Amino acid sequence: MDDHYKIQICGNVSAGRTEAEICFRQGRSLEGPVALVFETIAGWQTEYLVSKVVVPESVIESARERLSHYINRIGLDQPSGLTVAGVSLWLMIKDDGTAMGKRWEQ
């Protein structure tokens, strides 16, 4: 992957999905997100947040690969009764049974 970019995975509660924020690195500082990668029932989506920025395809592919391990990334069949924090945690469950580095217990 290109060293000028950093990928951060986040649970977006308001959108009801898990997203990869792609941020641009300039020296030691990190610019805010320049693009979002997420999956919907229609497939993978890339949304640019900064005009005139073109993120290399290798970075987009890396974001998709990382997101593919989050089992609730599309946000379908969300359990009822969860708090906002609970939804955020649910969106972050990975295929290895962890969420944010800890074993997920339902």
Specify the DSSP class assigned to residue 104: -
Higher-confidence residue of 7 and 4: namely: 7
**DSSP code string of 5-55:** EEEEEEEETTTTEEEEEEEEEETTEEEEEEEEEEEETTEEEEEESSTT---
Domain regions of the chain by residue span? 5-103
- Tens of pLDDT along 38-91? 999 999 999 999 888 889 999 999 999 999 999 999 999 999 999 999 999 999
In this prediction, residue 4 carries a pLDDT of: 86
Please give the pLDDT value at position 106.
58
What is the DSSP code (8-state) at residue 89?
Answer: H
Residue 3 has a pLDDT of: 77
Long-range contacts of 1-4 (CB under 8 A, 24+ apart): 1/58, 1/59, 1/62, 2/56, 2/58, 2/59
**Tens of pLDDT, residues 93-103:** 999 988 877 77
Burial of 5 (0-12, 13-18, 19+ CB in 10 A): buried
Q: In the predicted model, what is the mean pLDDT of residues 2-29?
A: 89
